[in-house]
Chain A
C-alpha cells in the first residue's frame, strides 16, 4: 500500500519569483515584501491602466507601465485598482517605460500591502506566463485526477458493500492524517488513521469538535454529511498537512461517498451500531487495554467520568431492541451484538444510582415489550473503574452462555449472575480439558451417536428442572406417559438409573460439559 503524497501548495508569489527563468530578469521586491506568501492563481499580462476591472482575484499582473509614464496619479490609481481587485502581486519590467522603480507606485503598493516587484533586466513576459501557467495547469490537473481517483476508489468500495471502516481507511490513506466521522451531536461514529494520532484527537474531541471548521488554515477540514434536507453529521480531516484546497477536495469526495454509503445502506447496521459494536468487541476481546479505549468510549457518547459501569449480556434480544429500551428508560449505555448470538450492553450510571435495581428494571422492561421473544439477561457486578469493564463483560457473557441451553427450564431470576449458574458455570470453565471431554463422551455415548436429538433435549430439561417430571412434560408439550417412555429409553441407552442421585449427577455433569463444548 502506498501513501499518496499531497501536491505542493499552490504557487506563492515568492515561489514564482524563485523560478529559474524569473531569476534571469533579476527581480527585486520594492513593496509589500511581507505578503510574498500570497497564492498566485494565474498570471496576466496587461498594459491597460484600468486592468483592475478585468481581474477576479489572485492574479499576478505583469506590466511594462508604458501607459502610466508621467502621471503619478494614474500610477497610484493603477496600484489601488489592483489592490481592490485582490491581485496577488504586480510585476513591473523596467527599461521600456521606467528606468527605475517609480516612487508613486512604490508608495501606493506599500500602503495597500501589495507586493510590487521590478525586473531589472529585460525579460520576455511570455516565458514567465508559459512557465507559471503550465505549472498551475499541472497542479489543477493533479487535483482533478486525484479527485477522480478518490471518487473511483470509494465508489468501488461502496458497490462491493464495504463497511464504513474500509471507506474511512481509504480516506485516511489519502489524507495522511486522522479522519473522524461524527453525528450532529458530535458523537464519534468512526475513525481512521494511525492509532496514537487518532487517540490524541479523541482525547479532546468535545472541544475539538466545537472548534473544527472555524478555520481551515490549521489543517482541520470538515465536510458536512446530509441529504434529503437533513444533516446527519460531518467528516473531519484532523490536521491535514497538504494545502487547504486539496484537503477540501478530499473531504468533499469523502463526504459524497459516505452519504452514498449511508443511503444505500438499507438494512445494514447503522454507523452508530457499527461504532458501538467495534468498541464493545474490542472491550470484550481484551486485545486493547481498556484504558486505551476510554477516549473512544467517551467520543461514542458514553459518560465515563465518575460513573458506575454495569456489564450485561443479553440472549434473545437484538441490539436495536435493546437500544430502544435503553432510550425508553433514559439509561445511558451502549448495546451491540457480539460474535455468536449474544448482545452486550454497557450501562453507565451515576455513582449514587442503584446498579442492581436499574439492571433489574431494564430486564423487566425488556421482557414486558409486547410480542418480544424471551430473553436472558446476564449481569456481572457493577464496576467503578473502566479498566475492570472487560472482565465484567466476559463474566456476563460466561453467565449468559452457561444458562443458554436450559434457560426456560432453570427458573432463572430476572437478571442472572455468576452465583446463579452454580455447577454449569464451573463445567463451562473446564470445557476445554481433554479429560472432561472424554468423560462427557463416555457418559453420553449411548445418546450422542443417535440421530434422535429429542431424547438429549428431554434429558437436558429433566436434569435442569431438578428431575421434575411434570414440568419437563409441560415444557416439551408431551403427556406424562409419553415422557415416561422417553425417560425409559434414555436410561436404557445410557445404562443408568436416573433415580440414583450419583448416576443422575454424573450424567448431568457430562451433559453440561457436552453443551459447553458446543458453544
Chain B
C-alpha cells in the first residue's frame, strides 16, 4: 500500500548577509508548505556563506546554541505555523570554543526532536573545516517525525558508507545530505555516491547543494539538488546547477518494503566479519 510523503529540499545562493539569508529560507518554507510539502531540508550551514573557504575566527560568530538559539526558535515557530517538518543544517556552539557542524530537526508541531553533528570533517583547500568544527559525537540518530523516520548525513560524511548504513540500521526512511560542494572537485561523484547509498541501504536520499560563487573563494557550488529512491531512480529532474530552486517531490515510502522484500541486504549482512572496520 502506498504511503506518499511530499518532501522538499532547497538550494540557494549566499545573499550577502545573515538576516536576508534567513528570510529567503523562511519564504522557501512557506512556498514548500503552499505545495503541501510535509518535510523540508535546507543546505549545509544554511544561513551563512560557506566560510570554510578561508580560516577566519570572525566566522565563529555564525554559531548558535541548538535548540536554545534564536534561529532554531524562529524556525520552530514557523514549523508550527506551517505544519511542516524542518531540517536545519547550521553552525552549532555547545559552549564557547566547542563548535560543531550540525543539523537540528524540528517536527511539524514545532517541537525540537534533536540534532545530528557531522562526523567526518575535511581539511583540504577550499574546505578548511577542521578550523571551525569538532568531529561530531551524536552517533547516528534517526528522528521519528510527522513525515516519517528521518536521518541526516552532512556533506563530506557522504563519502563514508558506514554512516549511511548506521542510519539504515536505525530505521531511516529518508536521509538528507545537505552539502556545500564545488564543481571541479566533486562533480563526478554527486550523482553517484548518494544514489549508491540509497541502493545499498534501501531508503530515499535527499541531496542538497548550494549554488553560486561566494566572495570568500573560488568554490563554484553547483546545486543540482535531488531526491533519489532505493532503486537509484531520481524523483523528477535534479535542480538547476546555477539558480535558487525549491525541489518538491512525492516519495512513495512503500517502495522501501518493495525493494527490501526483493533484496535482503539487512538480513544478509555479516557484522561478525566486520571487526577490522572498527579496529582503530
Interface residues of A (CB under 8 A from B): 185, 187, 229-230, 301, 303, 324, 327-332, 350, 352-353, 357-358, 361, 365
Contact status B237-A187, CB under 8 Å: yes
A361 and B34: CB pair below 8 A?
yes
Among B8, B184, B187, B243, which residue has its beta carbon within 8 angstroms of that of A327? B243
B161 interface residue, CB < 8 Å from A?
A: no
| CB–CB A358/B237 < 8 A | no
Residues from chain A with a CB closer than 8 A to the CB of B37 are 330
A to B CB contacts below 8 Å, 7 in the list: A187-B237, A301-B237, A324-B243, A328-B244, A329-B246, A330-B246, A350-B250
* Given known A324-B243, A352-B36, contact A329–B237 (CB-CB < 8 A): no
- Give the residues from 1 to 50 in chain B that come closer than 8 angstroms, CB to CB, to chain A: 6, 8, 31-32, 34-37
| B36 partner residues in chain A, CB cutoff 8 A | 350, 352-353
Q: Interface code B247-259, partner A: CB below 8 Å = 1, 0 otherwise?
A: 1101000000000
Contact check, A185 vs B234: say whether CB atoms are below 8 A apart. yes
For A210, give the chain B residue with the smallest CB separation. Answer: B233
Contact of B236 with A by CB under 8 A: yes
Residue B157 CB within 8 A of the other chain? no
Task: Specify which chain B residues have a CB less than 8 angstroms from the CB of A332 in the assembled complex.
Answer: 236
B188 CB to closest chain A CB (Å) equals 9
Contacts A301-B237, A358-B35, A361-B34; A330 near B244 (Cβ below 8 A): no
- Residues in A with CB closer than 8 Å to B53 are none
Which chain A residue lies CB-closest to B12? A328
A319 to chain B, nearest CB (A): 14
Give, as a whole number of angstroms, the nearest-CB distance from B213 to chain A: 15
A229 with B184: in contact, given A328-B31, A331-B35, A361-B34 (CB under 8 Å)?
yes
* Nearest B-chain residue to A364, judged by Cβ: B34
Min C-beta distance of A184 to chain B, whole Å: 8
Interface residue? B245 (CB, 8 A): yes
**Cα distance, A324 to B13, chains bound together (Å):** 14
Please give, as numbers and ranges, the residues of chain A lying within 8 Å of B183 by CB-CB distance: 229-230
Whether B240 is near chain A, meaning CB under 8 Å from some CB there, is yes
Quick check: is B239 within 8 A (CB to CB) of the other chain?
Answer: yes
Q: How far is the CA of A357 from the CA of B33 in the complex (A)?
A: 12
Per the bound structure, the CA–CA distance linking A330 and B35 in Å amounts to 8
B32-A330 in contact (CB<8A):
yes
Interface pair B246/A327, CB less than 8 Å apart: yes
Q: Is B122 interfacial (CB-CB < 8 Å)?
A: no
A303 to B236, CA, bound (A): 8
Contact A330 B245 (CB under 8 A): yes
Is B135 part of the contact surface with A, judged by Cβ < 8 Å?
Answer: no
11 more A-B residue pairs beyond the given contacts A229-B183, A301-B237, A330-B247, with a C-beta to C-beta distance below 8 A:
A185-B234, A185-B237, A187-B237, A230-B183, A328-B31, A328-B245, A329-B34, A330-B245, A358-B34, A358-B35, A365-B31
Give Cα distance in the complex from A229 to B188, angstroms: 11
Per the bound structure, the CA–CA distance linking A491 and B35 in Å amounts to: 52
Is B238 close to A, CB under 8 A? yes
Rounded to whole angstroms, the CA-CA distance of A350 and B243 in the bound complex is 24
**Which residues of chain B come closer than 8 Å to A329, judged between CB atoms?**
31, 34-35, 246
| B34 and chain A: residue at smallest CB distance | A361
- CA–CA, A323 and B218, complex, Å: 27
- A186's closest neighbor in chain B, by CB? B237
Chain B residues with CB under 8 A of A328? 31, 244-246
Find chain B residues with CB under 8 A from A301 CB: 236-237
A301 to B187, CA, bound (A): 22
Contact: B245 with A327, CB < 8 Å? yes
Q: Which residues of A contact B234 (CB under 8 A)?
A: 185
Most buried by B among A230, A324, A329, A357: A329
Smallest CB gap from A185: residue in B? B237
Residues in A whose Cβ lies below 8 Å from that of B187: 230
Which residues of the other chain, A, contact B239 by a CB distance below 8 angstroms? 327
Q: Which residues of A contact B238 (CB under 8 A)?
A: 185
- Scoring B residues 207 to 247 as 1 if CB is less than 8 Å from chain A, else 0, what string do you get? 00000000000000000000000000010111110011111
Cross-chain contact A327 with B244 (CB below 8 angstroms): yes
Chain B hits for A185, CB < 8 A: 234, 237-238
- Report the Cα distance A426→B84, complex, angstroms: 45
With the chains together, A331 CA to B236 CA distance in Å?
Answer: 12
| Shortest Cβ distance from residue B139 to the other chain A in the assembled complex, whole angstroms | 32
Known interface pairs A327-B244, A329-B246, A330-B8; A361-B236 also in contact (CB < 8 Å): no
**Whole-angstrom CA separation of A293 from B36 in the bound complex:** 29
Task: Determine the distance from Cα of A324 to Cα of B244 in the docked complex, in whole angstroms.
Answer: 8
Q: Is the CB of B248 within 8 A of A330?
A: yes
A237 to chain B, nearest CB (A): 24
| CB-defined contacts of A303 to chain B, threshold 8 Å | 236
Say yes or no: B237 contacts A357, CB within 8 Å. Answer: no
CA A229 to CA B8, docked complex, whole Å:
30
Closest chain A residue to B37 by CB distance? A330
Q: Is the CB of A327 within 8 A of B240?
A: yes
Bound: A361/B36 CA distance, A: 13
Bound-state Cα–Cα, A303 to B37, Å = 17
Collect the chain A residues with CB atoms within 8 Å of residue B35's CB.
329-331, 353, 358
- What's the minimum C-beta distance from B207 to chain A, rounded to whole angstroms? 14
Q: How far is the CA of A352 from the CA of B2 in the complex (A)?
A: 15
What residues of B have a CB within 8 angstroms of the CB of A229 in the complex? 183-184
CB of A335 to closest CB in B, whole Å? 14
A482–B46 Cα gap in the complex (Å)? 56
Q: Which residues of B contact A331 (CB under 8 A)?
A: 35
Residues of chain B within 8 A of A350, CB atoms compared? 6, 36, 250
Q: Which of B37, B234, B245 has the largest count of A CB atoms less than 10 A from its CB?
A: B245
B238 CB to nearest A CB, Å: 6
Per the 8 Å Cβ criterion, residues 82-133 of B in contact with A are none
Assembled-state Cα–Cα distance A324/B236 (Å):
17
Question: Residue A361 contacts which of B31, B184, B240, B250 (CB distance < 8 angstroms)?
Answer: B31
How far is A301 from B234 in the complex, measured between Cα atoms in Å?
12
Give CA–CA (A328, B246) in the complex, Å: 5
Which one of A327, A330, A361 has the highest number of Cβ atoms from chain B below 10 Å of its Cβ? A330
Residues of A within 8 A of B240 (CB): 327
CA distance A185 to B236 in the complex (A): 9
A328 to B37, CA, bound (A): 14
A-B residue pairs, 10 tightest by C-beta: A330-B246, A330-B248, A185-B237, A327-B245, A329-B31, A361-B34, A301-B237, A185-B238, A327-B243, A328-B244
Q: How far is the CA of A361 from the CA of B244 in the complex (A)?
A: 17
Alpha-carbon distance A330/B247, docked complex (angstroms): 5
Minimum distance in angstroms from A181 CB to a CB of chain B: 16
B245 partner residues in chain A, CB cutoff 8 A: 327-328, 330
Q: Are A357 and B34 in contact (CB under 8 A)?
A: yes
CB interface residues, B 178-192, toward A, < 8 Å:
183-184, 187
Report the Cα distance A1→B135, complex, angstroms. 68
Shortest Cβ gap from A337 to chain B (Å): 19
Q: How far is B32's CA from A229's CA once the two chains are assembled, in angstroms?
A: 34
Residues from chain B with Cβ under 8 Å of A324 in the complex: 243
Shortest beta-carbon distance, A322 to chain B, in Å? 13
CA distance A352 to B38 in the complex (A): 13
